Amino acid sequence: MFVVVTGLDGAGKTTLVDSLALDLGTSTQKLHLPHDPEIRDRLQLTGRIDPMEKPWADRQLFAEDNRRASRIVERFLAAGLHVVSQRGWMDSFIHGKVVGYDYQTSDSLNRPAELVCPDTSLYMVCDPKEAWKRVRDDPLKDRWENPEYLVKQYEETIAFYERAGTIGNGAFTEPRTLIDTTDMRQEEVAEMAKSWLHSLGLVEIGVLSAI
């Protein structure tokens, strides 16, 4: 099983990924994109560029990381493991739109039809003001986690979720759900995600018994 948890910074992706991976047990591998250490190092270098100035280098680096991560997912799945990923290939489309690149450009760079398709994707959002409250004091927050970016990221996450099945030559046709965590406790978010996975027949109801 391959599950992607994507969406707004501050919406609770990390907490949900950790919870799902814990309950799925030792046969589960977690990913966090960007995954490749070399790519992350290079992104630190491009970080000197204003993130809202459409840095083309970032777009290329994220696309390469998607390809490398897809090969890792293939190996994990072939070994019979579950994979729960924080972020996925769709983030390159969402982030690309925020900084000014259309879906066609992101499709030509990322070629999502050639990547491993998740069994389901969970899109997590919350009110951008609430998201900023959650991340503003985080010493590990990245250069995109700022009020201006979060507003645009929220809008583009919703837009992509609504159009995903028509984007990328049909590459994003997996079952997907949207979870707005603005007024939800972590336990409620996890329960909603658990119910979604069960509704798709991806897990038995007892497998994720104590998220």
Q: What is the pTM of this model?
A: 0.90
Q: Quote the pLDDT of residue 144.
A: 75
- Answer yes or no: is pLDDT of 77 > 90: yes
Label residue 42 left, alpha or beta by phi (over 0 means left) and psi (-120 to 50 means alpha). alpha
Instruction: Decide if pLDDT at 131 tops 90.
Output: yes
Orientation of helix 56-78 relative to helix 37-46, angle to 10°: 170
What DSSP state is assigned to residue 168? T
How does DSSP classify residue 117? Answer: P
